[in-house]
Amino acid sequence: MTTDNHPISPRDKADILAQALPYIRQFHGKTMVIKYGGNAMTDPALQAAFADDVVLLKLVGINPVVVHGGGPQIETALKRLGKEGKFIQGMRVTDAETMEVVEWVLGGEVQQDIVGLINQAGGKAVGLTGRDGGMIRARKLKMVDNKDPSVEHDVGQVGDIDQIDPSVVKALQDDQFIPVVSPIGFGHHNESYNINADVVAAKLATVLQAEKLLMLTNIPGVLDKAGALLPELTPRRIDELVQDGTISGGMLPKIAGALDAAKSGVNAVHIIDGRVPHALLLEVLGDVPFGTMIRSH
């Protein structure tokens, strides 16, 4: 084990492990839902570090559940097919053909890459979509226009969650497996829906009564207007930051999901920097506050 090319002495190693022990004891047997995306998902060194972290958490008795996104990978696949991605208010319009691509990219390529990485690191990962075990029942998302609330946009097969049945995830966890979930749901007529991965992670954390929800992003956490990290956020502060435009775009569903989970009994919700190697271990087993913690009050 090295840091900045300097070997860590046995004494320092022992200190690091001793500091982690109270957290291992505190979180033993608890579930942690991890939203995996951004650079952590595309940089090979960060991918390997992430897989090692997930396996280590499982080995010390914590139950990690991984939920992944895949926007850039979907974009690449659509380009290869010569299909131009269309967006309304930042949301991908998902027609039937695009949905097919979304399913094979998320439920096939991306999911199986993550499963392979975790298995290679010594874990036993199993890939799931929302169809498996009837896990994620969804309905068509109603998108209201930003400027005119009387106008509704049709974004195709983009879904909102009706309900999540976590029994398949629980069965796998009890059997020493690490579930890797693709954010695809199914509707009443067996149609598929593409769902925001942040929303799936937050809802899954709630129904599993997770100890923590950890969202890996491409920034150090939530930043204020001056670019300084906000270590803690309350609902009132979040409202202020949305009103003044500090929180906008892709950060909105992330924060809304995080806040929902915090209000629904998930003990701690953290938005952390996935570009930092071993970000998961630093958050879960470290003393130093890392990223932004969302509080329910």
Residue 92, marked binder: yes
SS3 state at 141: coil
Residues 6+ away with beta carbon under 8 Å from 274: 36, 37, 38, 39, 40, 41, 46, 50, 216, 217, 218
Residue 194, marked binder: yes
Strand partners, 273: 217
Helix axes 96-104, 71-80, angle to 10 degrees: 120
List, in sequence order, the alpha helices (H) in 109-166. Answer: 111-120
Which residue has 């974004």 as its token pair?
155
Residues 6+ away with beta carbon under 8 Å from 289: 231
CA dihedral over 254, 260, 261, 267, signed as positive or negative = positive
Task: Dig out the tokens for 164 from the structure.
Answer: 């999540």
Residues 6+ away with beta carbon under 8 Å from 142: 152, 160
Which residues does the annotation place in the binding site?
A: 70-71, 92, 194
Which residues does the annotation place in the binding site for substrate?
A: 70-71, 92, 194
